[in-house]
Structure 1
Amino acid sequence: MAPANSRGPLGRRRRALVAAAAALTGLFAAACGGGDGKGSDGVDPGVTGAAKSGGTLEVISVTDMARVDPFGAISNYYTDSSRLNAMYDSLFYSEPKTGKPLPQIGESLVPDPSGQVWTLKIKPNVKFTDDTPYDAAAVKWTWDEHKNPERRSLVAGSAAAIDKTEVVDPLTLKITLKAPNANFDRVVASSLAFIPSPTALQKDPAGFAAKPVGAGPFVLSEWARDSKMVFTKNPKYWQGPDRPVLDKVVFSVMSDSTQALNSVATGGSDLKVSASSTDAAKARDLGLGVSQVPVIVGEAIVFNSSKPPFDDPRARRAVALALDPNEMNKIAFTNQGVPSSSLFPADSPLVKPDAPKLPSANRVEAQKLLDELAAEGKPLKFTYLVPQNNQATKTGEYVQTQLNGLKNIEVKTQAMAIVSYTQAVRVNRAFEAALHNWTVSDVEPTVYAYLHSSSPTNFLGYKSAETDAALEQGRKTNDPALRQEAYTALMASVSKDVPLWPYQEGRITVFHKTSVAGLLLSNDGVLLMDRLGRR
């Protein structure tokens, strides 16, 4: 992994900042589950202990996959990432307690002193299930395709940072970035970790869509659309016959959160990965095991800044001021969530303690802005999109009720099936405002990819020179103090422009039967499928 930047002796102020960041890092690690694996707040990133060989686990998914290739699947989000890991394994993954990128099929990823040229080494003797080599050429092809506009890759914003790649030898790839990024290893672990067989995908794209070819611990053996995906043990898996631990994994679609909790509690299913703020408390009440990690951003309202009405920052600010995260937590989340007005969790080492917050809970000021817009012939009227689930419906009802209680504003709420919602918001960008869950382990790469004005995956249409500068500064270094300064500046810019409005701290949660073993929840919600099993 990348060494910390060396910038000579630190001055007194810099040393103080580093010490503060180190202290905050300790707090953050404890919150993620340090020491015995469980912090004082009950957060626990995984279930350790050896899993017995063999057997089947049933995992609940909130939705089916729209696509199984790494270009159209949501590779850095909890809904798709575990299934992608089953099929493709990972080059690198994020360690749940620290967010540090750790190697899997990748052996090392090291920068030159500038942070602009990186060298990737791949473990030897890894093959895809079509017996073609998992090598530097396969990684190069995949990353080049993420940049190809015709692919419409959902992680194109992460790949866009790459200027060129060169195959040095079969197991070595030289990566030249467009600009220095001391945290490119985080980008790979979060968004560029899943590599398909280029041979299989190019030879038969339609066939690949039904039977993907990867180098993962499992192969897709059955797919009943909108019902279940069945994965069976890969007999050619590169780690040998002892991995994966399970013989079979079944991912069953169950969109209703209450039904999912009851299914695990009664033994019909084994576990579910969830971004719900309330599932952890409900699962504990049912006697289930709970594994959990905090993430950046959490649940938020996102605005489409590229078109009316939210191309006017006053409209975005008015909505934010009209709503109260604490009241929303009480009404929509029955006080089981963690209210927020920031992109970052409380005590995050990535921002200073006094970093600006986004505006909220000032309905008098909200009404003034709404009246001002109406006087200009622009009364606020929009549709609020939410994904189709119980919790999102409650949140949407709160937002609609609170906003329609003011003058010169009219809001309608529309619920959509998650696959359709993702297509509308992330791909087609056919929305005005939407509920969105951002569950990522670090600013790099997803927050950069969503908010930087040059990013092809900036679906918010948001453009700000100040935000761009803060994001660019943050990716130039992995010095904790310098990153903290950059992302505090990011919060100052975002709080002024309000391209989104966070109201719940993010928590990725797995609730599971106590018989589950070998569970490790990576920070962005991926289960490492090679080690998951039963006691």
Structure 2
Amino acid sequence: MTAACGGDDDSGSDATPATTAAPDTDTDTDTDTGDPDDELDAGDTGDTGDAEATATTAAPEPEEQPEQGGEIVVATLFEPFGLDVKTLVGNVFDGTVSNAIYSSLMVYDANREVVPQLAQSLESDDQQVWTLTLHPGIEFSDGTPFDADAVKFNLDRHADLEENSRAYQNARNISEVTVIDDTTLEIVLDFPWAAFPETLAGNLGKVGSPTAIQADPDGFNRNPVGAGAFVLDEWATGERIVLDRNPNYWVDGQPYLDRIVVRAVPDTQTRIVSAEIGEIDIAQSVNGAEIAEAPDRGLAGYPGEGPGITIWMNNSAPPFDDVRVRRAALMALDKRTIFDVVYGGAGQYPPNQFIVSNDSEFSARDEIDYPEYDPAAAAALIAEYEAENGPVSFTYSCYGQSDLVNLAQIAQQMWAAAGIDVEIEIKDQLSVILDVLTGNYSISCFGATGQEDPDLAFYGQLHSDSATNYALYANPAVDEALDAGRRTADFDERYEAYLVVQQALADDVPFFQVVTSPWGWFGNPQIGGMVGLRDSTFDAAQLFLRSN
């Protein structure tokens, strides 16, 4: 339903300084220097030396002139659990809403490079001491200055163990944050960290208004205040989240839309039909086939990048505390058939194993023999285990998303063929997530975000000291490799470290990806500005509605 109106770090050498600067957004200035090491002037609109000046930065000139105004309805798979920056999960769970409210210090561009957004630049000579410079004059939607003090407040809050922030895993590696002036911070890390810029493109880079947080710490989770393109107008649980245009957004002329209404519609068929009849304008999807088939329905498809579908196993409890059962669970599955039948062959095959793309410079897929589909070998491993421990059976839990239900049913048949008795338990999405987060599961579907940098792809999910090691996997050799890869900027040293990690994924199979299918959107072809897609999110500031 629409209403329109008119009018990074170079990790190849520790001798290279890491300089990440925002592209010049002055449309009269050519910002293509041709040299990736050149620092670009960020938003040079004249004299930016006055810290009290209002920050208005011209948006890049688009291929078509966006129309101002209008309202769109967006269907997401899930409703956020909360919107405090410390509770954010990201991607399909709350990324659509949180990105609109907060924006981010850093973001990914179309080339999968980390670039500044609310930040103006991020620089380091040694990847341990970083200088973060902000655009001057930005304000949160409540009028609080978006300045160095506000960023420090948020970073310190994430690093406070008692705050129970989901970003703590990364924030704990910050040893000191010093405010240099209103727009400049010095961030000292515990060690040289090549992946640090990428953490600021995640939840660590979301910055909430200190005024609003301090005024009502508990209530902030339902009444967030950020410096993004939209402000929260209403949150009717189970019905809708209403986002209104932020009239003081720092990019001149943006956002283009007046309002975005977000509805959680977990059922795939309902999202498709609602888009076809115009009840919703754009619908979220984690199934590449749905996106690819959108034009056949008279809709537009907007494929992005996504990590795909992951199956997690509890490595600390029988039967998955035995590597033979884990390997058998993987080898019994014909992933190619699942990819073709459930996901229409849309995406990346074989799966990317958590690095965002198989063509990543850190992907060692060509050097490693991952377990392949071999039901006879799987059956032999199960028989060997059962001879020592008795019959193998387990309950596979997942939530009722249609493609995941189809996948579960096909997997159940394939596991049965290998002699594994499997019961399927379809639960509500929150219950599945809480069970995995608390270790109260045997085997389960669960998401995992693909990352550009292998440190962020692997450390949180595999290190035995990580709070997000939901598989409860422990391997001292992997811990050592993860620590080594995190603490050097030398590409060759990092590659060798993450080769060890990827080999362990193949040998130990603590969890595995079944498919890598694009996450994205489908819907009204009159929606423009669908750019910056990653993990099924978009830049709400750039969305607009064509009137004809």
Query: Is 298-307 or 317-326 further displaced after alignment?
Result: 298-307
Pairing 1:385-534 to 2, within 5 Å after superposition? 385-407=397-419, 409-426=420-437, 428-442=438-452, 443-476=454-487, 483-534=494-545
CA distance in 1, matches of 2:431, 2:489: 37
Deviation at 1:128, TM superposition (A): 1.6
In structure 2, the CA distance between the partners of 1:48 and 1:349, relative to structure 1 (3 Å rule), is farther
**Cα distance in 2, alignment partners of residues 436 and 197 from structure 1:** 32
Aligned to 2:35: none
Residue in 2 that maps onto 1:2: 9
TM-superposed CA distance for 1:251, in Å, is 0.6
Aligned equivalent of 1:322: 332
Which residue matches 2:277? 266
Contact kept, 8 Å, 2:433 with 2:446, in 1: the verdict is no
Equivalent-residue separation in structure 2 for 1:6 and 1:330 (angstroms): 41
Greater mean alpha carbon deviation, residues 395-404 or residues 517-526: 517-526
Structure 2 counterpart of 1:271, one-letter code: I
* SS of aligned partner of 2:293: helix
73 and 4 in structure 1: CA distance in 2 versus 1, 3 angstrom threshold: closer
> Residue in 2 aligned with 1:105?
118
Change (3 A) 1:7 1:141: closer
**For residue 81 of structure 1, what is the aligned residue in structure 2?**
95
Q: TM-score by structure 1 length?
A: 0.85
Cα pair distance change 1:456/1:399, threshold 3 Å: same
Higher RCO (CA < 8 A, seq sep 6+): 1
Secondary structure class of the residue paired with 2:104: coil
* Cα distance in 2 between the residues matched to 1:354 and 1:366: 23
Larger mean CA deviation between 503-512 and 340-349 belongs to 340-349
Once residues 249 and 15 of structure 2 are traced to their aligned partners in structure 1, the CA distance between those partners, rounded to angstroms, is 46
- Name 1:69's counterpart in structure 2: 84
Partner of 1:235 in structure 2?
Answer: 247
Give the aligned partner of residue 51 of structure 2. none
- Select between 273-282 and 178-187 the one with higher mean Cα deviation: 273-282
- 2:64 corresponds, among 30, 49, 52, to 49
Residues 294-350 of structure 1 show CA distances to partners (whole Å, capped at 9, x for unaligned) of 34x421211122333222222211111111111222443354454425415443333
SS of the aligned residue for 1:520 comes to coil
Q: Does 1:146 align with 2:168?
A: no
For the pair 1:93 / 2:74, whether they are aligned, the reply is no
User: 1:507 aligns to what SS in structure 2?
Assistant: coil
Note the C-alpha offset of 1:134.
Answer: 1.7
Q: Distance in 2 between matches of 1:121 and 1:390?
A: 45
Distance 1:318 1:381 in 2: 12
Q: 1:3 deviation in Å? A: 4.5
Cα deviation code 1:220-266 (max 9, x no counterpart): 111111121011111232234x2211110011111111221222222
Q: Which residue of 2 aligns with 1:224?
A: 236
CA distance in 1, matches of 2:69, 2:317: 53
SS at match of 1:78: helix
Q: Tell me if the contact between 1:231 and 1:250 (Cα under 8 Å) persists in the aligned partners.
A: yes
Q: Residue by residue, what CA displacement relative to the aligned partner does 1:47-104 show, whole Å, maximum 9, x if unpaired?
A: 96332111111111111111111222212x233112101111111111132x211111
Candidates 180, 195, 217, aligned match of 2:207: 195
Residue identity matched to 1:49: E
Aligned partner letter, 1:504? V
- Is 1:376 equivalent to 2:365 in the alignment? no
Supply the AA of the counterpart residue of 1:434.
Answer: S
Deviation at 1:473, TM superposition (A): 4.2
1:161 paired residue among 167, 173, 181: 173
| Aligned 8 A contact 2:375 2:417 in 1 | no
Shift of the alpha carbon at 1:511? 1.6
SS in 2 for 1:290: strand
Q: 1:111, 1:182 within 8 Å by CA — same for their partners in 2?
A: no
Letter in 2 for 1:501: F
Q: In 2 relative to 1, CA 154–416 (structure 1 residues): closer, same or farther, beyond 3 Å?
A: farther
8 Å Cα contact 1:351/1:485 also seen in 2 = no
The SS at the match of 1:79 is helix
* Cα distance per residue 1:475-495 (max 9 Å; x no partner): 455666655444333221210
SS at match of 2:96: helix
Q: Secondary structure at the match of 1:279?
A: helix
> Aligned runs of 1:166-185 on 2, under 5 Å?
166-185=178-197
Distance in 2 separating the partners of 1:524 and 1:333 = 17
Task: State yes or no: 1:253 paired with 2:264.
Answer: yes
Partners of 2:162 and 2:426 lie apart in 1 by: 29
Structure 2: which amino acid aligns with 1:432? S
Percent identity reads: 31
- Report whether the alignment pairs 1:307 with 2:314: no
Aligned to 1:281: 292
2: CA distance, partners of 1:358 / 1:160? 33
Letter aligned with residue 110 of structure 1: E
Q: 2:360 aligns with which of 338, 348, 357?
A: 348
Measured against aligned partners, the alpha-carbon deviations of 1:262-294 in whole angstroms (never above 9, x if no partner) come to 222222211123222322222132132222233
State the distance in 1 between where 2:188 and 2:104 align: 21
For the aligned residue pairs, the C-alpha RMSD in angstroms reads: 2.5
**What amino acid maps onto 2:371 in structure 1?**
P
Where does structure 2 lack aligned partners over 5 or more consecutive residues?
1-7, 17-61
2:159 maps to amino acid = K
8 Å contact 1:306–1:461 — kept in the other structure?
yes
C-alpha contact (below 8 Å) 2:104/2:200 kept by paired residues: no
Corresponding residue to 1:125 among 137, 151, 154: 137
Q: Letter of the 1:101 partner, please give it.
A: V
Deviation string for 1:160-208 (max 9, x for gaps)? 3323322232322222222211121012113312111122122213432
TM-score computed with the length of structure 2 as normaliser: 0.83
One-letter code aligned to 1:66: F
Deviations 1:370-418 (A, max 9, x none): 12222222533322121221111001111222223333x3322222222
Provide the rounded CA distance (Å) in 1 between the counterparts of 2:143 and 2:408. 49
Once the two structures are superposed, residues 5-45 of structure 1 have per-residue CA deviations (whole angstroms, 9 ceiling, x without a partner) of: 54689xxxxxxxxxxxxxxxxxxxxxxxxxxxxxxxxxxxx
CA shift in 2, pair 1:366/1:418, >3 Å: same
Q: Is the 8 A contact 2:100 2:230 kept in 1?
A: yes
Q: 1:506 to 1:470 in 2, by over 3 A?
A: farther
Give the aligned residue type for 1:2: D
Aligned-pair CA distance for 1:449: 1.6
Aligned equivalent of 1:207: 219
